[in-house]
Amino acid sequence: INKPRFEVEPFIRDQRLRVILATTPPTPVQFAAVYPHKKLQDPKVRLLLDFMADRCQRLIKDILAGR
């Protein structure tokens, strides 16, 4: 498979998977949210989006760091 490292890092760490094509990185993954235009946006939606972006970034960092 050619998956983002953060998705497979735990399996590489416990040796259920191994890297064989380290010089061929996967296509970048994008997270997206669909929400109303800023003029119509409820402030709670902005808070949720900011929370989710921060949480996802921290989780990916932790996975890659082996925590």
What pLDDT sits at residue 63?
Answer: 85
pLDDT recorded at residue 11: 94
At residue 49, what is the residue type?
Answer: L
* CA 9 to centroid of chain Cα atoms: 12
- Asked whether residue 40 carries a pLDDT value surpassing 90, the answer given is no
Structure confidence at residue 64 as a pLDDT band (50, 70, 90): confident
The tens digit of pLDDT for each residue in 1-25 reads: 888 888 898 999 999 999 998 888 8
Alpha carbon distance 61, 5 (integer Å): 11
Residues 58, 67: Cα–Cα separation, whole Å: 11
